[in-house]
Amino acid sequence: MKLANYVAGKWLEGTGAGTPLVDPVLGTELARASTDGVDMRAALDYARTTGGPALRKLSYGERAALLGKIVEVLTANKDKYQATALANSGNTKIDAAIDIDGGIGTLFFYSRLGSKLGDKRALHDGAFDRLGKDEAFQSTHIAVPLQGAAIHINAFNFPSWGLWEKAAVALLAGVPVVAKPATATALLSYQMVKDVIDAGVLPAGALSLICGSARDLLDHVTGQDAIAFTGSADTAHLLRANKNVIASGARFNVEADSLNSSLLGPDATEGAPEFDLFVREVAREMTQKAGQKCTAIRRAFVPRALADKVAGALEARLAKTVVGNPRTESVTMGPVVSKSQQKAVLDAIRQLSAEAKTVIGGDAKPVDANAATGCFVAPTLLRCDDPASGKAVHAVEAFGPACTLMPYDSAEQAIALAAKGGGSLAASVFTSDDKFAADAALGLAASHGRVLIIDEKVGKSSTGHGIVMPMCVHGGPGRAGGGEELGGLRGLRFYHQRLAVQGRLDRLQAIATSAADVSL
């Protein structure tokens, strides 16, 4: 089977042999993807000229209702998607739910949120400001949807969530989507988009899909397009440097890789609720989706006096992980998605091992699967006792079930070490000390996109370190790409042109009344 591309309102198979999509447990081929012969310029033009006007004709409320229709279509097909997530990504049921329900949940959230914007077609952001002595002459800000396409280039680890968390915001904004999932796991994205297109719930041109290489896609972007990229920092650098991307001034949001950290506070003691919550969270982050979450904890910082205790507790917990074929009920962690990812993770672990020793790791011995054909990596906890001198431990992302445990000597040092990731998506802090919680949140703020603060009182209700919630912004500075997505209505900003309008106050008020009040 070859995955077809959905461009210019038609399903079109690429020519040539295509790139195989493989089951990472069995090593068998599931499908092929090719974009050879696909006219990328025409694909973007169709989205801009057919999808854009159709979406902009609708109000925010009407577009929010479209998101609700997508939710209905996807919800009706969840069992099929679960099977695909297992076959193409090696997901356990829980891993698949994070991706599939995460995508549907984000669409649902934006459908509810967008409905509050009602019948408006523009946004009004902020107050009115007097510009001089005359009170009649003032300014205000409004925002309108871009008139180009939203180009979404996604990473392999979230073929559902990555697709819909971006599409939900762009479609609500009124900007047509051209989605390009990572080839290795594109089968799930393909099935979902196919179901939505077949259901006829979206206007023509609102959603297009490219399955396979992006080829010359970015050579055709214009200044009204908005590119949202998720993937490795290396690819981000390459795409940012594309001559046409630079020359056109197209918007470019990057969600790249990240050395996220978790801190156990200096107040912690063995057996304290925060100690147990921290250990549970680190182990869960390492093994959920086999560690293939951009937000997963890669560095765990603990008070030096507790390092042995934490290492022991994590080792005991990780030893219970059952690695293998997720088709077997007892298996709690599947493979990484491909042989090349397996090699990349093992190479990264080797680099980290130059500065850290292994607490638990080694060869994976998968249950009900062949270690040679499958893409398994054992949960690997490393320990680096000199994190202040370590370099690789703060720089090398092992995008799999791996984490480095590091002791710190003071509260200030813990915060400084976490910031050594060079800009990260998420940090978590486990402490019962309110002062440390506040110091850590503010101390980590400049280098992070999100900080999660946990104590006994919110330990149970926490959504977790690595789970991206649509009401919170997602992204991080520096190495993490410098981007920002989601964050409720804040996410609309990327797909809107905000402008200052200056003039007579009563005219400005009339314009503002025709727009929905938001704070972007």
Element spanning 141, H or E = strand 137-145
> Helix, strand, coil shares of the chain as percentages rounded to 5?
40, 20, 35
- Closest approach, Cβ 223 to ligand NAP, in A, equals 19
Contact 400, 378 (CB under 8 A): no
What angle is formed at CA 260 by the lines to CA 257 and CA 265, rounded to 5 degrees? Answer: 175
Helix (H, G, I), strand (E, B) or coil at 24: coil
Nearest to 480 by CA among 236, 172, 226, 241: 236
Closer residue to ligand NAP (CB): 95 or 455: 95
Q: Which residues pair with 454 in a beta bridge?
A: 430
The closest of 156, 22, 181 to 88, measured between CA atoms, is 22
Least CB distance to ligand NAP at residue 81 (A): 18
Q: Which residue is nearest to ligand NAP (CB)?
A: 231
Q: How far is the CB of 157 from ligand NAP (least distance, A)?
A: 5
CB of 326 to ligand NAP, least distance (A): 20
Asked whether the beta carbons of 174 and 20 are under 8 A apart, the reply is no
Is residue 375 part of the annotated active site? The answer reads no
Round to whole Å and give the CA distance between 24 and 85.
11
Q: Which is nearer to ligand NAP, 18 or 361 (CB)?
A: 18
Nearest distance in Å: CB 243, ligand NAP:
13
Catalytic residue among 13, 165, 211, 255: 255
From residue 411, how far is each of 44, 149, 272, 280, 423 by CA, in Å?
51, 47, 18, 22, 19
Q: Is 294 a catalytic residue?
A: yes
Q: Return the C-alpha torsion angle 37, 42, 46, 49, nearest 10.
A: 180
The smaller minimum CB distance to ligand NAP, of residues 235 and 447, is found at 235
Catalytic residue among 13, 165, 274, 294: 294
With contact defined as beta carbons under 8 Å apart, do 315 and 360 qualify?
yes
Which residue, 42 or 510, is less far from ligand NAP as judged by CB?
42
451: β partners: 427
By C-beta, is 110 or 158 nearer to ligand NAP? 158
Q: Nearest distance from residue 215's CB to ligand NAP, in Å?
A: 8
Closest to ligand NAP by CB, 13 vs 439, is 13
Bridge partner list, 145: 496
Give the residues lining the site for ligand NAP (CB under 6 A).
153-157, 180, 182-184, 213-214, 230-232, 235, 238-239, 255-258, 294, 397, 399, 425, 480-481
* Residue numbers annotated as active site: 255, 294
